[in-house]
Amino acid sequence: MENDISSLASSGDVLFMMLGAVMVFAMHGGFAFLEVGTVRKKNQVNALVKILVDFAISTLIYFSIGYGVAYGIFMFQPASELLAKNQGYELVHFFFLLTFAAAIPAIISGGIAERAKFWTQALAAGIFVGITYPLFEGMVWGQINFLGQEGSWLAELTGGIPFHDYAGSVVVHSMGGWIALTAVIILGPRFGRWDSEGRSRPIPISSVPFMALGSWMLCVGWFGFNVMSAATLQGISGLVAINSLFAMAGGIIAALMISKNDPGFIHNGALAGLVAICAGSDQVHPFGALAIGAIAGIIFV
């Protein structure tokens, strides 16, 4: 009887992780369409292909190197052994965390749109997903006892308070943003962004429908990103879901008011709110989440 209950619990966790992985995987379509909507038409196909290829490269590199660096679990074992451990939970857990890792090159891609060669960026994606991101991920969530663990260096320094990032505000989104910012500084502005006299020439959105589609796909998938970060059915929290919803709403409303109805800012305001709430989505009150999302929306605009 106990074995049956344990098996049922393991099956539930596997299904839970699988659903989360699929939801976050779908977000990569959102990254693609968001970028397609904001680049010039001549670069739209490149943007679509780039996100898909980056995900494929990320899959191979994270499976071979990154996941092991972050968590000390390497997949070079017989399939029977991997499946025997909690009905393959580690495999779907890898899939879920892969979708996080692959978000790094997707974020960078949007940040340096129209400024990088295809294969150069693909190579960089492999390096970031295989080494750079897993090292930081391991420090907060994994085996590298430095920031986020109970007995980590930071916890000892702060009197037992480790770094807390429930669903990746810093580990995923800030990491991608920091790398993208560095790349932008090195590569410079998009062609045509400034005129001959140094005056700003904003590049208009090429397709509001595509950009809106990307934003919607990301918003829907984000509930898998945040809620499924619980990793097990037993750990699931309704507070995380509601806080994600309120932060998204706060980002939208703030961007609407500050930007004076600009569709680009409004759709990205939703994403700004969701990025901001990831870290503390399991801790704050929904009204706090609303404020966090609103502040993020204002900062974005």
Let me know if residue 230 belongs to a domain: no
Let me know if residue 154 belongs to a domain: yes
- Is the overall model pTM greater than 0.85, yes or no? yes
Distance, CA of 95 to CA of 87 (rounded, Å):
14
Q: Is there a single domain that holds both residue 139 and residue 262? A: no
Closest CA to 101 of 184, 13, 221, 21: 21
Let me know if residue 143 belongs to a domain: yes
Q: pLDDT tens across 220-229, in order?
A: 999 999 999 9
Checking if the pLDDT of 118 tops 80, the result is yes
- Give the per-residue pLDDT at 36: 95
Q: Is there a single domain that holds both residue 197 and residue 264? A: no
Mean pLDDT, to the nearest integer, of 188-209?
79
CATH number at residue 147: 1.10.3430.10
192-219 residues labelled b (16+ CB within 10 A) or e (exposed)? eeeeeeeeeeeeebbbeebbbbbbebbb
Range of the domain at 273: 237-301
Q: pLDDT tens across 37-61, in order?
A: 999 888 899 999 999 999 999 999 9
Let me know if residue 86 belongs to a domain: yes
Q: Is there a single domain that holds both residue 143 and residue 281? A: no
- Give the per-residue pLDDT at 2: 61
Average confidence score pLDDT of the chain: 92
Distance, CA of 5 to CA of 301 (rounded, Å):
51
**Looking at 92-101, 185-194, 245-254, 288-297, which range is the least confident one?**
185-194
- Give the per-residue pLDDT at 105: 96
- Give the per-residue pLDDT at 78: 77
Q: Is there a single domain that holds both residue 38 and residue 138? A: yes
> How many domains in the chain?
2
Q: Is there a single domain that holds both residue 159 and residue 279? A: no
Checking if the pLDDT of 87 tops 90, the result is no
Q: Is there a single domain that holds both residue 147 and residue 254? A: no
Q: How many CB atoms lie within 10 A of CB 49?
A: 12
* CA distances (Å), origin 166, targets 33, 229, 284: 27, 7, 12
Give percent above pLDDT 90 in the chain: 74
